Structure 1
Amino acid sequence: MSFDRKLFIEECKNQEKSEQYIVNTLKYADNLVNRGFPVLFSLKHMAYELGINYEDLKTIEDHRENYYKHFHIKKKKGGLRHLSVPFTNLKLIQSWIYHNILLHHHPTSSAYGYIKNRSIKENADQHVAKRFILNVDLLKFFETITEHKVFKLFVEIGYTKTLSWSLSKLVTVPIKEDYYLQLSHIEQKLFNKTFEQEYGVLPQGAPTSPSISNLVLRNLDGKMVELAELKGSTYTRYADDITFSGNDIKNIPTKTEIMRVVMSENLLINWNKWTLRKKGMRQKVTGLNTTHGLSVPKSYRKDVKRHIHFCLKYWPESHQKKIGVDKQFYRYWLLGRIHYIRFISPEIGNKMLKDFNNIQWPL
């Protein structure tokens, strides 16, 4: 979408708008255009650009909690992950916001999650062969990014405060009571105000949430980079996984130093996942070994090889029956693991793929 200055000025004059109004409005529009963002004056204007009825858009904003499907899935390492997936009409709105606004605002170079051409591989590669690696996990990552932080992001982009509030509400949702009640006692205390005041937080399941999380954490990344430079270490962040690395223990920031930065951004640390790996230990970043180059953990590779071996030796049906998995699901589950290994270690992965293709799969 483009902004036609000439047409806008003509329309303002036809409506007998003052010269000051025209100057101020053009200044607002030019700021957005020059930074690559679409010109939006109001929620009604946004509805027009979306091609939907303004009243419908306003209803979704005012009753956002009714436009999500909420459910839980099991985490790999135990516990439940709460997902809030927007209904189709809200998802289309969020997708428009993502493609037209968020994609034009860039995260920091130290962020690697949810970004095109960046992955866990590039993230871990920054820490290869380092003697000391500190892994820090942010607690309840999306839940700590409230509508107030998102509002500030849209204001920073250049939109009016009124429109920024509307945008922030369209991409956040209040915490559900059943989810709040299953939190630990300590977590309930931490999120009590957010829950009681029905403040919106980033929903896990919305197309806008990953990008917004990176943009909201630009300040955190900037402060962490300054801290890393001061200590002589390397800093990266993959979603909620923070990593510092260096060749001397003095390069690694202290708990107090990191906590001070995290708290300044109103974020929380998951102390149960605070891990300092020293020289002599197997170094790992975002699930990848970094001690001598990048590699998938040996246990992971051995498990995949074991599955391939038994499928070749006893046929897939017999092996699947023994381990009790769905036939069709299992085939693609195994193939996905092989492609993951290929992504990190092509030579090893290609050998596995060749063996996989020799398996006699049922039709």
Structure 2
Amino acid sequence: MHSSVYDTAHTIADAMLAGPPDPGGVAARMAAVLGDAPPWLHDVARDAIARFGARWAAVEPGDLTRLVAEAPGFVAAWRSDSPPAIVRILPRPAVQRPLPAALGALDLPQWATPGDLADWLGVAVPDLEWLADRWRVAARGSETPLHHYTYVAHDKRSGGCRLVEIPKGRLREAQRRILHGLLDRVPPHDAAHGFRKGRGIVSFAAPHADRAVVIRFDLADFFASVSAAKVHALFDTLGYPVEVVRTLTALCTNRVPSARLLAPDLRDRFDWIGRQRYRERHLPQGAPTSPALANLSAFRFDMRLAALARSLDATYTRYADDLAFSGGAVLTRATEWMTVRVAAIALEEGFALQLRKTRVMRRGVRQRLAGVVVNRHPNLARDEFDTLKAILTNCVRHGPASQNRDAHPDFRAHLAGRVAHATMLNAARGMKLQAIFDGIAWDAGDSGA
């Protein structure tokens, strides 16, 4: 589209959106910016309202700009001896829309413009634009001082690679403010147990205790699968104006530079699909906002899977990328059909299952979810207890440094966390482990690598 054509169509579109979607008013605003009222204005107004009227306040200006520029009347006028000319500008007002009824009780920050968001974050508007990568630095080069992320690759125990995208200081601080000031106030679906205060692995696994069959699924590349479009839709649902939605989306998503993906340490770690996923804007694993945004962006996914579970007299919960279903005779008979349905729903919602990690666990085998055994009640697996007991015993006998094979920076805190987790699942076993832990002699240098 020629720039002058686009600019004219864009200005007309802004004027159309500067008021409610009634045909006379829309046509009048178009006439005001053109200083003329040719007949084709009414045709464009009717077409725009028919296509976008139901969501007028949330319409992307680019969508309406294309409608104007491709309208037969506009095209004919542009090719005439007197093409449309702008004589004044009617900007779209920046107004935060009311929340949907289901979210109406939420107390959310009010940001009518990116400037309001910048003031709330405590940064200047140019700095906000830089943090939101308005200059598209992220797509160029690799890890220069102007880039907002550093990248660390970790091998997964199950195979493959996890790319951790770590935001630098100023962006990380802005993301933390958005997390605590906005996202923490928006509840995810009740089936979501990861990254939530008062929820965790035990609450995720407990509803599946003492069931005839437990089925576990795993999502591939959970964070990277949440696209910028989903994040944009979430912020739009919260009622923010288009420019604020765009800025929030840009602050909370990232695209990995191609040069970084092709660097020696990453070149052979991802297939073509994986590289393409990281090249597009997505939730970066490592950003403070990503866990909450992933939960909220998966709301419809959780809702559909919960409905599927109810249709089979079953229970559904999710912990990050781990999905769990459990039930009785109805689910037992429908396991194959349900696996196909879960895979289909995942694809429709932008996710994909790692089918090789799917497990159908009937009552006669050990039923395990996220390390928790649920055959009778949530419990610590015996092999995990034995392994942790052996590590703690060797720490007492040979010193903690001898057992820190994975070079944990704070090995003491790591072991304390594992003991606390074991105690939460099985108090008696946890007390035995705690007694051994208390007998470890910690020197100043033993907590690190």
Contact 1:315 1:360 in 2 (8 A): no
Show the counterpart of 2:172.
Answer: 91
Amino acid of the structure 1 residue aligned with 2:124? N
- Aligned-pair RMSD on alpha carbons? 2.8
Using the aligned pairs only, state the percent identity: 24
Show the counterpart of 1:150.
Answer: 231
Q: How many residues align?
A: 336
**1:276 alignment partner, SS class:** strand
Contact 2:217 2:322 in 1 (8 A): yes
Amino acid of the structure 2 residue aligned with 1:40? W
Are residues 1:293 and 2:380 paired?
A: no
Are residues 1:275 and 2:356 paired?
A: no
In structure 2, the CA distance between the partners of 1:84 and 1:64, relative to structure 1 (3 Å rule), is: farther
Bigger shift: residues 135-144 or 55-64 = 55-64
Amino acid of the structure 2 residue aligned with 1:316? G
Bigger shift: residues 175-184 or 107-116 = 175-184
Contact 1:60 1:90 in 2 (8 A): yes
Which of residues 117, 125, 129 is equivalent to 1:54?
125
Displacement of 1:102 in angstroms is 0.8
Partner Cα separation in structure 2 for residue 302 and residue 330 of structure 1: 19
TM-score (norm 2): 0.68
Contact 2:317 2:324 in 1 (8 A): yes
5 Å matches for 1:235-254?
Answer: 235-248=316-329, 249-250=332-333, 252=335, 254=338
Show the counterpart of 2:115.
Answer: 44
Which of residues 217, 230, 233 is equivalent to 2:298?
217
Displacement of 1:175 in angstroms is 3.0
Are residues 1:171 and 2:242 paired?
A: no
Contact 1:138 1:241 in 2 (8 A): yes
Displacement of 1:221 in angstroms is 0.7
Show the counterpart of 1:12.
Answer: none
Amino acid of the structure 2 residue aligned with 1:208? T
Contact 2:391 2:403 in 1 (8 A): no
Contact 1:68 1:86 in 2 (8 A): yes
In structure 2, the CA distance between the partners of 1:362 and 1:234, relative to structure 1 (3 Å rule), is: same
Say which structure, 1 or 2, has more relative contact order (CA 8 Å, 6+ apart).
Answer: 1
Partner Cα separation in structure 2 for residue 227 and residue 330 of structure 1: 43
Partner Cα separation in structure 1 for residue 227 and residue 411 of structure 2: 39
Partner Cα separation in structure 2 for residue 86 and residue 323 of structure 1: 28
Q: Deviations over 1:30-74 (max 9, x none)?
A: 889853111101111211222211011112212463111111234
Q: Deviations over 1:169-228 (max 9, x none)?
A: 11000134344744544xx23663x45xx4311011111000000000000011111111
In structure 2, the CA distance between the partners of 1:291 and 1:34, relative to structure 1 (3 Å rule), is: closer
**1:143 alignment partner, SS class:** coil
5 Å matches for 1:114-129?
Answer: 114-129=195-210
TM-score (norm 1): 0.84
Amino acid of the structure 2 residue aligned with 1:59? W
In structure 2, the CA distance between the partners of 1:38 and 1:29, relative to structure 1 (3 Å rule), is: farther
Contact 2:235 2:245 in 1 (8 A): yes
**1:144 alignment partner, SS class:** coil
In structure 2, the CA distance between the partners of 1:175 and 1:272, relative to structure 1 (3 Å rule), is: farther
Contact 1:112 1:238 in 2 (8 A): yes
Displacement of 1:266 in angstroms is 1.6
Are residues 1:134 and 2:240 paired?
A: no
Partner Cα separation in structure 2 for residue 51 and residue 323 of structure 1: 42
5 Å matches for 1:65-76?
Answer: 65=138, 66-76=147-157
Which of residues 21, 28, 33 is equivalent to 2:97?
28
In structure 2, the CA distance between the partners of 1:274 and 1:356, relative to structure 1 (3 Å rule), is: same
Amino acid of the structure 2 residue aligned with 1:148? A
Show the counterpart of 1:260.
Answer: 344
Partner Cα separation in structure 1 for residue 409 and residue 248 of structure 2: 41
**1:173 alignment partner, SS class:** coil
In structure 2, the CA distance between the partners of 1:316 and 1:355, relative to structure 1 (3 Å rule), is: same
Which of residues 152, 155, 162 is equivalent to 2:243?
162
Contact 2:95 2:112 in 1 (8 A): no
Amino acid of the structure 2 residue aligned with 1:73? H
Contact 1:133 1:283 in 2 (8 A): yes
Amino acid of the structure 1 residue aligned with 2:333? K
Query: Which blocks of at least 5 consecutive residues in structure 2 are unaligned?
Result: 1-17, 21-89, 139-146, 445-449
Q: Deviations over 1:144-175 (max 9, x none)?
A: 10111100000001111221111111100013
Q: Deviations over 1:268-294 (max 9, x none)?
A: 111121111122110011111001211
Which of residues 381, 390, 399 is equivalent to 1:306?
390
Show the counterpart of 1:15.
Answer: none
